[in-house]
Chains A and B, each alone.
Chain A
Amino acid sequence: MTAEPAEQVLAGGGPGRRPRRARRGAAEDVAGLGFLGAGAFVAPALALIGLFLVFPALWTIYLGMTDYRLTGLQAVDPTFVGLDNYERILGDPSFWRSLRLTLVFVLLSGIVGQSLLGFAIAWALRRLSGWLKGIVETLVLAAWVIPASVSSFLWIALLDRRGGTLNALLGTEGTAWLIEHPMPSIIIFNIWVGTAFSMLLFSSALAAVPPSQLESARMAGAGGWAQLRDVVIPNIRGHILTNTLLITLWTFNTFTPYLVTAGGPNGASEILAVYIYNTAIPGGQLGVGAAISLIMLLINLVIALGYLRVGRARAARPAEATAVETAGGGETA
């Protein structure tokens, strides 16, 4: 428990201008919760998470070390096989192909596609108002909130080989997009679905960038690109990190592309979440499926740690940020 001086607390008001101590996640127990109170506040959520998340997750990890199947002899009497499943998976070229596809998928549809497009939209719309902004936001958000079962069907209809709207528009009669370009199809589909989150996040992040700093940069003759690099990015670093982390995790685990291509044709778009499903349910090998889930979790862990390291490294190198703050401060003075 750290009781900080009140002045410091007050200063911690505006995001972006917060003193470094608050930035590091220091907690000020201003409500007087204490450990017990905090425990009582956290307990219900933890109980629910413990029962319905941690417990099944640990059970799944255990299943990953058995030859458990849904039916057949191994369903009655699964045997403990230790790390055999892992050995098999790691020796299976189709796993490596799936992993490669997943990395491409996450990189192009999540990190590049959703984040950049979301940021670009937020940037383009930041000073716009009126109907154009309204329409753009509505469409982007509609794509995000309509249920996956509907959106996947919309894309199947759009890309259909015979009656699809895209072929009619482009005059590419008979092009089977989902067969001939399965990965680009699900990548673009996923960008379409998920961009709204990044757009929302960056919109509010941009709104929080102190106008005074932007103003002074403009006064100094900085073009849009320079403003972005020198003022905006340093200010919203935390948002970028949050966005990238969540987007990466979500894209890694999304199962929705299954509804569009079912991993096909012949596994050409079988990202890991789909690979797990195909192994565990139609393939019946739940033990192996569980093992792949754990591998996926470990990959997620590595990625998350990587991001946090990057974030920490940047936070520990205050040179740029200080420079900007000086620029901003100079203007106010």
Chain B
Amino acid sequence: MHARSRRLAAGIASLTALGLVAACGSGGDDGGGGGDGDAVTLTITANAISGGKNAAEADWIRDWVIPRFEAAQAEAGRDVTVEFLEEGVDDEDYKTKIVLDLQAGEGADIIGIDGIWVGEFAEAGYIAPLSEVAGDAVDAWDGWEQMPEAVQSAMSFEGERYGVPQGADGRVLYYNKELFAQAGLPEDWQPTSWDEILETARTLSSLDGVIPLQINAGTAMGEATTMQGVLPLLVGTGTEVWSDGAWNGDTQGLRDVLELYATIYGEGLGDPVLQQEAAGRDNSFAQFAAGEIGILLEGDYFWRSVINPDENVGTAPMANRDEVVGYALIPAQTPGSGVQGRDFVSMGGGTGRVLNPGSDNPELAWELLAFMNSAEAYTERVAGTVSITPRDDVNAEVLASDPMLTFVSENVLPINSYRPGLAAYPQVSVALQEATAAVVDGTPPADAAAAFEQALIGIVGEENVATGDG
């Protein structure tokens, strides 16, 4: 027995020592860029992983982008290897990781990020304008002409392009035509005011076991509450959460939005529990797909990735999606009351890819990034599941088969508003979510709006908050 334990101890000790040595060896050469001769390694990272989150993107990068790019470089006589670091976790964790990398001057050469992070990353100096990182080749790129200004702005900060958007999206009201028919409502529906939405929802409430109208609220849904709830409604009142260099607090617009929430959940038109569940958004998807929700405010993502009937694409597939699901523009509170006098409104989000300012081979990295955003690459990217690309030329081709996405591309993208890409935004967003949660919970809208303003002052300081309203 002693002999055995002695051997065990010796084994463990030598293993530990070995581990130390091995680690020192691999730690020494500092991974990354340059090496012997002309051999160059580029790295891409994205919150996508084969067989998991955003699998289509991951497969596309690994199976199409990388081999093609490496082959093209080899043809030009350059020995380039591209590595892909797949992540596929919760967005907050992913963000933390790339921030830690960028802070340490490390990380991949090309990094996929959410458009809303651009401002805070730029302020921290983690990313820089593309042309500063990779030189003149950026501005000379012909791809920019194909991307509408509004789409580009999703990856811009203070008028500079920090990254290339990898998609474009918009928000609409989805509705179930079968339920509409059962309630005696017309199948072609385009409300022109909030009151009209409420009217329709009240008619739908005659149906048993159906939630007439679900508009995301509460903190559990996170950003979904802000993007598919508060903000599209707020721009419908003509108010933006941030305008003219200041944050807007207790405005009439916000009070109206919260009043609408109070009406929806107070009258039982929406399910107040659903929006508090940790998986509430998924459940709202599943319930809509099962014909248990009449009207749902969602992005085009819902159409192409959730209720998509194609095999292995939709997470809550609806076999008869094309016949049953209708979509309508989100109306402003009253016609013409939206921002810039709009009748209909939407919010745009979107992700994109940036260059790491610490890259050892920024020009080559840009070459790769430009290649990833070529018409050819996008055509390949959306071959499996059609989605809206940032490029007009590709959209004209690939969206033809899908009337809904064409509708978004042509009618919704032009009326998109965007979130302010500032470091304080995530906290402001949480404060907005809390305000909706309070209202659904029974707090009078005016009190919730006042509490939001207090929270806003706590976050950004009194000097950055515009109070009162016209």
Contact = CB atoms under 8 A, between A and B. Distances in A.
A266 B124 contact: no
A265 B220 contact: yes
A264 B219 contact: yes
Interface residues of A, number: 26
> Interface size for chain B: under 10, 10 to 19, 20 to 34, or 35 or more residues?
20 to 34
Interface stretch (A27-35, A58-66, A68-76, A100-108): A68-76
Contacts of A69: 423
Contacts of A179: 273, 276-277
Contacts of B26: none
Interface stretch (A125-133, A137-145, A277-285): A277-285
A315 interface: no
B426 A283 contact: yes
B210 to A, nearest CB: 15
Contacts of B279: 156
A176 interface: yes
Contacts of A156: 278-279
Interface string A264-279: 1111000000000000
A283 B428 CA distance: 10
B92 A76 contact: no
Nearest to B276: A265
A73 B464 CA distance: 15
Nearest to B117: A71
B423 to A, nearest CB: 3
Contacts of B99: 70-71, 75
A281 B424 contact: no
A162 interface: yes
A71 B276 contact: no
Contacts of B438: 266
A71 B120 contact: yes
A262 B278 contact: yes
Contact of A284 (B93, B219, B427): B427
A186 to B, nearest CB: 12
Contacts of A262: 220, 278
B427 A73 contact: no
B218 interface: yes
Contact of B273 (A176, A267, A281, A282): A176
A72 B424 CA distance: 8
Given A70-B99, A162-B283, A266 B276 contact: yes
A264 B273 CA distance: 12
A224 to B, nearest CB: 40
A187 interface: no
Interface in A228-269: 261-262, 264-267
Interface string B273-291: 1001111000100000000
Given A162-B283, A264-B219, A70 B278 contact: no
B262 interface: no
Interface in B204-249: 218-220, 222
Contacts of B121: 71
Interface of A: 69-76, 156, 161-162, 176, 178-180, 261-262, 264-267, 281-285
Closest 6 interchain pairs by CB? A72-B423, A71-B120, A75-B124, A265-B276, A72-B120, A266-B437
